[in-house]
Amino acid sequence: MNFRTIRHGMLAAVIVATAPIAVVAQDFTPESPECIAPANPGGGWDFTCRQVGKALQDLDLIPSTMQVVNLSGGGGGVAFAEVVNKRNSEDDLVVAASSATATRLAQNAYPGNTADQVRWLGAVGADYGVIAVAADSDIQTLPDLMDAIKEDPASVAIGGGSAVGGWDHLKVLIAAKEAGIDDVRSVKYIAFAGGGEAVTQLLAGSLQGFTGDLSEAQGFVESGDIRVIALLAPERLGGEFADLPTAREQGIDAIGANWRGFYGPGGMSDAAYDYWVDRIDTLYDSDEWQKIMEANGLAPLDLQGAEFEAFVEESIQEIEDLSREIGIVQ
């Protein structure tokens, strides 16, 4: 495996190239495939379940439709506890996960639950973060937004789909720190159960900014409801995203990518584990999934099985270190 981690005070982006994992899964076939999205419809976890579920079905990689269940609460904690405590041995079940999941685990925000209680299956890409405003906002650039916070922190509320101290929150704090805001705890962040709810409040005027990922913001950009003022990528993306300005080009060196993947119950059988690892690997290598990644601005991240588990462990440690640095974890 050959991968590069770009880290600027945070786990920032991962570009991966790795050989396919040769897993032959013949001893298990799910009867009723199910994916839990740990947030309400419209957010990144929901996107992951629905896009992957549809692609798996379209490619005949699963025998029937993937049922998607939205189980929001606690920044993914409700779903995590449900799997660990009530559905620990279900082989048909997978759960959408991301850097937000690693963040909450790093901050001990899932009471009584730890990363080793589930089985980490694989990643399907990395989603660059964005900071956006309503389309009709007077704020034109990321420095404009940061200057408004410096002038009167209480007058600027920024919302996202993760809990306070979660991944969406961290991205804004990193940008604020790079913009010269000494006490990043002065940044007013409002947590919502999903990115879709945060955008709704942005359009209603209750928020002045939105922090999320490109995939969950894309539909609102296309509809003309919101305007991205900063893409948290090392450089501009190509294609339909070429017009999105990076934070770095505006003098604020904040970079952040949210990995997207899946975990399964800790008591999942080895046969089911091998099956889901194989299916995620096969999906990732397909032309169909590569087109979905390109259409949604996803960066490459090709890790499955033991490699993905090691990556998640490293992610949790780095996010814990970052959280201590900015005072979220004591």
Of 14-18, 64-68, 131-135, which range is least confident?
14-18
Whether residues 52 and 198 share a domain: the answer is no
Q: How far apart are CA 290 and CA 119, in angstroms?
A: 25
| Mean pLDDT value of segment 187-196 | 92
Percent of the chain at pLDDT > 90 equals 74
Does position 13 have pLDDT exceeding 70, yes or no? no
- When pLDDT is cut at 50, 70 and 90, the band that residue 26 belongs to is low
CATH of the domain at 159: 3.40.190.10
Rama region for 73: left / alpha / beta (φ>0; ψ in -120 to 50; rest): left
Do residues 182 and 103 share a domain?
no
Q: Give the CATH number of the domain where residue 114 resides.
A: 3.40.190.150
User: Is residue 266 domain-resident?
Assistant: yes
Of 198, 231, 250, the position where a domain reaches its end is 250
Q: Average pLDDT of 155-180?
A: 92
* Segment 146-153 mean pLDDT: 98
Q: Residue for token digits 């209480």? A: 154
Q: Do 119 and 17 fall within a single domain?
A: yes
Task: Determine the pLDDT at residue 1.
Answer: 30
Supply the range of the domain harboring residue 309. Answer: 2-127+257-325
Q: What is the reported pLDDT for 151?
A: 97
Whether residue 209 contacts residue 215, with contact meaning beta carbons closer than 8 Å, is answered with no
pLDDT digits 0-9 by tens, 193-247: 888 899 999 999 999 999 999 988 999 999 999 999 999 999 999 888 999 999 9
User: Which pLDDT value is given to residue 24?
Assistant: 46
* Of 40-49, 89-98, 275-284, minimum mean pLDDT range: 40-49
pLDDT at 75: 87
Helix (H, G, I), strand (E, B) or coil at 228: strand
C-alpha span between 304 and 19 (Å, rounded): 11
Question: Which one of 206, 233, 250 terminates a domain?
Answer: 250
- 58, two tokens: 């379209």
CA 190, 196, 197, 203 dihedral sign is: positive
pLDDT tens, residue by residue, 71-92: 999 889 999 999 999 999 999 9
What is the mean predicted confidence (pLDDT) over 29-50? 94
pLDDT for 18 = 40
Measured at the CA of 114, the angle between CA 70 and CA 36, to 5 degrees, comes to: 15
Within this chain, do residues 113 and 147 fall inside the same structural domain, yes or no? no
* Mean predicted confidence (pLDDT) in 317-323: 87
pLDDT by residue (tens digit) across 248-295? 999 999 988 889 999 999 999 999 999 999 999 999 999 999 999 988
pLDDT higher than 50, residue 186:
yes
